């Protein structure tokens, strides 16, 4: 099998290890010139999972990752598929009593989407939700940047985001939208219950109907000269503030 046959690449030793643990890896590529314990551990994981291992020249790994920092390891995975609204209902029904969701309103940059998925995975979010239209889907770039999180965090695309937020509210989730002009600081809010954090697009922020549907708007305090943060950076801050509060409450 070659990368030309499809699949999504996951690069880097830690990301490849996680992908092998999660399943869905089609083939493992390793730098034939490297011989060390960390790569040997990947070989053992791959063989235990029945994943073919192929030794490659470094130039082949460089080409497949567009010169990324692959550390001599690359996993070709099944390209993850986006979920639908029925899947979201099932996730909420079978998930925790205090789910944490990340909602992206019109994020079009695949690098930002991939980074948001990675943050969502790290913070233990149940899913990432985005509209089908005028927003980025699970492109090869988004999957690559997510470093395995596109397979571990369900990505749900919905037809009408405002209607989906209303359904979340009916299920008892509190919907907080991030807006720079909001009076309330996100850090002053309680984020321990069932929660959906809504972030807008890179340039326009939250759309009018999305903003109107939120239960509350909140801002991240900025003390420098810039007026806003990258959406993936904002997502990471919001998600980890929610996680911090939840861990403190469980202690």
Please give the pLDDT value at position 8.
67
To the question of whether residue 84 is assigned a binding role by annotation, the answer is no
Task: Identify which has the larger pLDDT, 189 or 2.
Answer: 189
Q: Own/partner pairs for 55-58, CB < 8 Å, 24+ apart?
A: 55/29, 55/30, 55/31, 56/29, 56/30, 56/31, 56/32, 57/31, 57/32, 57/33, 58/31, 58/33
* 141-180 per-position pLDDT tens digit: 888 788 778 888 999 999 999 999 999 999 999 999 999 8
Stretch among 60-64, 166-170, 192-196 having the lowest mean pLDDT: 60-64
> 3-77 architecture in CATH?
2-Layer Sandwich (3.30)
**Mean pLDDT of the residues in the chain:** 90
Q: Does domain 85-250 have CATH number 3.40.1280.10?
A: yes
pLDDT bin (cut points 50, 70, 90) of residue 201 is confident
Angle, helices 231-250/110-123, rounded to nearest 10 degrees? 10
229 annotated as belonging to a binding site for a ligand: yes
59: pLDDT strictly greater than 80:
yes
Domain spans, the chain: 3-77, 85-250
pLDDT at 145: 84
Q: Please, which residues bridge with residue 10 across strands?
A: 75
Question: Was 42 annotated as part of a binding site?
Answer: no
What's the pLDDT at 7?
A: 62
């Amino acid at each position: 099998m070659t990368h030309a046959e499809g699949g999504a690449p996951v690069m880097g030793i830690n990301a490849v290890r996680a992908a092998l643990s999660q399943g869905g890896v089609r083939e493992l590529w390793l730098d034939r010139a490297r011989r060390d314990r960390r790569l040997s551990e990947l070989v053992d994981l791959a063989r235990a999972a029945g994943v073919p291992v192929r030794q490659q020249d470094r130039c082949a790994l460089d080409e497949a990752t567009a010169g990324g920092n692959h550390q001599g390891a690359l996993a070709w995975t099944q390209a993850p598929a986006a979920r639908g609204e029925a899947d979201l209902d099932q996730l909420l029904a079978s998930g925790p009593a205090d789910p944490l969701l990340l909602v992206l309103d019109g994020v079009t940059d695949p690098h930002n989407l991939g980074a948001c998925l990675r943050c969502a995975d790290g913070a233990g979010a149940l899913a990432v939700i985005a509209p089908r239209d005028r927003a980025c889907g699970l492109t090869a770039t988004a999957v690559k940047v997510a470093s395995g999180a596109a397979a571990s965090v369900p990505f749900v695309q919905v037809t009408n985001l405002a209607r989906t937020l209303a359904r979340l509210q009916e299920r008892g989730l509190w919907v907080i939208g991030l807006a720079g002009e909001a009076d309330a600081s996100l850090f002053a809010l309680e984020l321990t219950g069932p929660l959906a954090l809504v972030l807008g697009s890179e340039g326009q922020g939250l759309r009018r109907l999305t903003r109107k549907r939120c239960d509350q708007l909140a801002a991240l305090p900025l003390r420098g000269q810039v007026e806003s943060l990258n959406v993936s950076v904002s997502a990471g801050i919001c998600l980890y503030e929610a996680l911090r509060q939840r861990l403190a409450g469980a202690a």
